[in-house]
A and B are shown apart, each in its own frame.
Chain A
Amino acid sequence: MEVPLQLEAGKLPPVPRAGFAAGGEAEGGRAEARYVHKIGTSPKVLGWIGLSVEGADLVRRETRRKLTQQVVGSLNRCGREKQAKALATCGQWFDVWARPSGEAKLLPCPCDSMFCPECANRRSRPLIRKLKGMVNRPGRSYWFLTLTVPNTENLSRQDISAISDQFAELWNSWVFQEVEDENGKAFRIYGGVRSIECVYEPESESWHPHIHVLFEAPRRLPWWWLTLLKAAWNRITGGARYLRLQRAYSVTKRGKKKYNNLNEKALRELCKYVTKCAEFAGDHLLVDEFLRAFKGVRRTQCFGSFHGACSREFEREPGDDDEETLNAQATLTDDGYRRLPFRAVLADTVMQRDGTRQLTFDFMERVRAYIQTADPPWGLEVEDIPTSEQTRIEFAGAMPEKSEWQPSLFEGAV
């Protein structure tokens, strides 16, 4: 005889689960069992995942944000409210470009401040792109040189002009232009790009202007060339003794250094425009001093074989539209878009899944209303022209230079 699977005692009433009333507790036992929610008894499992890369990026952004806030405060205190506002709201305003048909596009309005890391990246991008096509030539090597001058207590425009002129003199000197190696064979430095930078040293309460140079040299640069360079720089500056020369390299995915093969990342590191202001961002007098000294200064300049890589950048004053913006504007104009006389703020836009921004419904209504009221219609739309097959008429003989019917065309004209 088979053993019954169920207990002979029959079915037992189910045991009430935690969090549920068994019934009979209220209304004299007439009430049905009711669900009672208790905090902490939920079987919900919580999960989080955190990555070092994400965290490092967040920390970097937070540091940047704090630093920018400090600079904004300092700019306000030294009476540069307009610059402070532009820096504080960088990336939050957009130019609105629209077509008569009602389509709209947004172009960001950058602050172009020397202290803005986002704008620094954006401005250096065209230069990096051009340099990328100039480096890694066969038979050449690339070097990173840092030239320093003695610290100065007060920074002025003259200090910056002086270091710039001193470098120009060094470039024109025989050390760069014509040197003979051990075999009597002449070699020269082909060209490069230089960037003037200045940091503040709080320990000595002084400014430290210096120049970074990325230059292109023959494949084999003799070790004693550095001695010549030191002597020349010392002579030109009248006492500067410290300079550093190292071979430029890019880092592979495995972390190995690769010489004579500069990638975009390496170039970005060398050509970034970022102002290192962490040491003086909180002091409005120092911020003002720095801005006065660097007003209208071409911080980056190309020379020799790199000449022309950043010529466009020279013509541009801070605040003007850069090359990328001008290109975007030209494309939009060609496509029939016109800039509207008002701007959109970040709150007027919504981030899309693909990372682009789109205008909100309310703002779009405002754009459409403007287009409708704008008089006369400010744009022409491209329409398809109906075409038909045409028969080619063959001419036998030469075409008369002037048609005999031509004068009659103008008879009616006064």
Chain B
Amino acid sequence: MATAAVQTWIGHSSDIAVPLLGAEFWKDGTEISGILEGKRDQKVGGTAYRLTLDTAVSIDGEEVTEVEMPSLTGFKNALESLRLQGYQMKKGDLWRVRCEGIKKAKKEGFSDSPEFELAIVRK
């Protein structure tokens, strides 16, 4: 006779609602590093990657270690470059994201785009 195991789950809004490191956060030379915890598809703006940072960053005057990296164009391009090198993301990978500069928008009405160097270490 099989034993009936009871399973429970609890979800909090705060598990998902972590600060997003948008384009305005990034300046030339800004760097973060942390562990990849997962990813989720946003309603608008594509995939966001959740990171637990080694060092807290200040967003709106608040020090946070749990952040999400949105799919900015430069970041997507860096990931595409990694994909062609054979990288497939895995939970627990150590990510270091560094802003290499801000590319000015060519057309009026478009926002400037940060460019990144994404270095990954997997143990």
A residues near B (Cβ < 8 Å) are 45-56, 58-59, 251, 255
> Is the CB–CB distance between A52 and B122 below 8 Å?
no
Among B17-25, B30-38, B69-77, which stretch is in contact with chain A? B69-77
- What is the CB-to-nearest-CB distance from A269 to chain B, in angstroms, rounded to a whole number? 10
Contact of B119 among A48, A53, A54 (CB under 8 A): A48
> Is the CB–CB distance between A49 and B118 below 8 Å?
yes
A249 to B76, CA, bound (A): 30
> Is the CB–CB distance between A51 and B81 below 8 Å?
yes
| A56 proximity list for chain B (CB < 8 A) | 74, 77
Which applies to chain A's interface (DSSP): helix, strand, loop or mixed?
mixed
Contact of A50 among B78, B104, B112, B123 (CB under 8 A): B78
> Is the CB–CB distance between B78 and A55 below 8 Å?
yes
| A47 proximity list for chain B (CB < 8 A) | 119-122
Contact of A52 among B87, B104, B115, B119 (CB under 8 A): B115
Contact of B115 among A53, A59, A251, A255 (CB under 8 A): A53
Contact of A55 among B80, B112, B120 (CB under 8 A): B80
> Is the CB–CB distance between B87 and A51 below 8 Å?
no
Query: Which of A47, A52, A54, A58 gathers the greatest number of chain B CB atoms within 10 Å?
Result: A52
| A251 proximity list for chain B (CB < 8 A) | 104
For B73-93 the 0/1 string (1 means CB < 8 A from A) is 111111111101111000000
A49 to B81, CA, bound (A): 8
A258 to B53, CA, bound (A): 41
Q: How large is the interface on B (under 10, 10 to 19, 20 to 34, 35 or more residues)?
A: 20 to 34
Q: Can you name 19 A-B pairs with beta carbons within 8 Å? A: A45-B121, A45-B123, A47-B121, A48-B87, A48-B120, A49-B117, A50-B81, A51-B117, A52-B75, A52-B100, A52-B114, A53-B77, A53-B100, A54-B78, A55-B78, A55-B80, A58-B77, A59-B80, A255-B104
A251 to B107, CA, bound (A): 12
> Is the CB–CB distance between B121 and A55 below 8 Å?
no
A55-B81 contact in complex given A50-B87, A251-B104, A255-B104, C-beta closer than 8 Å: yes
| B87 proximity list for chain A (CB < 8 A) | 48, 50
A399 to B103, CA, bound (A): 78
> Is the CB–CB distance between A48 and B82 below 8 Å?
yes
- What is the CB-to-nearest-CB distance from B121 to chain A, in angstroms, rounded to a whole number? 5
| A58 proximity list for chain B (CB < 8 A) | 77, 80-81, 84
| B102 proximity list for chain A (CB < 8 A) | 255
| A50 proximity list for chain B (CB < 8 A) | 78-82, 85, 87, 117-120
Residue of B nearest to A49 (CB): B119
- What is the CB-to-nearest-CB distance from B12 to chain A, in angstroms, rounded to a whole number? 33
| A53 proximity list for chain B (CB < 8 A) | 77, 100, 115
| B112 proximity list for chain A (CB < 8 A) | 255
A59-B77 contact in complex given A48-B82, A50-B85, A52-B100, C-beta closer than 8 Å: yes
- What is the CB-to-nearest-CB distance from A356 to chain B, in angstroms, rounded to a whole number? 24
A52-B82 contact in complex given A45-B121, A45-B122, C-beta closer than 8 Å: no
